[in-house]
Amino acid sequence: MKRSLSWVALAVLSLVVFGCGGGSSGGDAPKSITALVTFSTTGALPTGIKIGAVQVTLQAPAGIVVTMDPNSAGQPLITGVPTDALASGSYASATNTATVGVMSAAGFATGNVFTLSYTVPSSMTPPVVGDFVLTVKDLGSTNGTDLRPGVGLVASVQFQ
């Protein structure tokens, strides 16, 4: 009987010492995800015409935060801009709206125009494109003519 109790004590001690060999400590916070919203033009440009200006506003769902440019106070981080184009923007936190303009004197072809990055908290369901409100303010050629309705602007969302 004494030997059985010793084995039971050894088994319990082994479970205490070696039983916590995996799993989470519970201290790791869930990680947020990044939503990349890419804006692209659609349609065909008239022969010899290039895009000279695009201006949009994008209102994101509540709780999703735009990544700000660390080198420009008050401006969202704008990436993926066509070669020889300049981009500028602003952000209104009260409405969670980014306004972005991309301009080029030389012009650029249809395709990706720019990308904005957003942080989605882990507590939220990742958004879909329809959760964002996109307003195209300007889509003009290098000679100043409005390219709509032949050319449009769409957004797509990817997650990292």
**DSSP label of 95:** T
**DSSP label of 7:** H
* Rounded Cα–Cα distance for residues 79 and 65 (Å): 16
- Residue 26: the pLDDT is 54
Inside any domain, residue 13: no
CATH code at 119? 2.60.40.680
Tally of CB atoms within 10 A around 32? 15
- The pTM (predicted TM-score) of the whole model is 0.77
Q: Taking CA 133 as the corner, what is the angle to CA 62 and CA 160, rounded to the nearest 5 degrees?
A: 65
Residue-wise pLDDT tens for the chain (160 aa)?
Answer: 444 434 333 343 343 444 444 445 555 667 889 999 999 999 999 999 999 999 999 999 999 999 999 998 889 999 999 999 999 999 999 999 999 999 999 999 999 999 999 999 989 888 888 899 999 999 999 999 999 889 999 989 898 8
Helix (H, G, I), strand (E, B) or coil at 70: coil
Inside any domain, residue 21: no
* Rounded Cα–Cα distance for residues 44 and 150 (Å): 7
As for how many domains the chain has, the answer is 1
Inside any domain, residue 105: yes
**DSSP label of 148:** T
DSSP β-bridge partners for residue 19: none
Burial grade of 100 (CB within 10 A; 0-12, 13-18, 19 or more): buried
- Residue 66: the pLDDT is 94
Q: Are 149 and 109 in contact (CB under 8 A)?
A: no
Inside any domain, residue 117: yes
Inside any domain, residue 131: yes
**Kind of pairing between the strands at 51-59 and 78-79:** unpaired
* Rounded Cα–Cα distance for residues 78 and 85 (Å): 12
Range of the domain at 145: 30-159
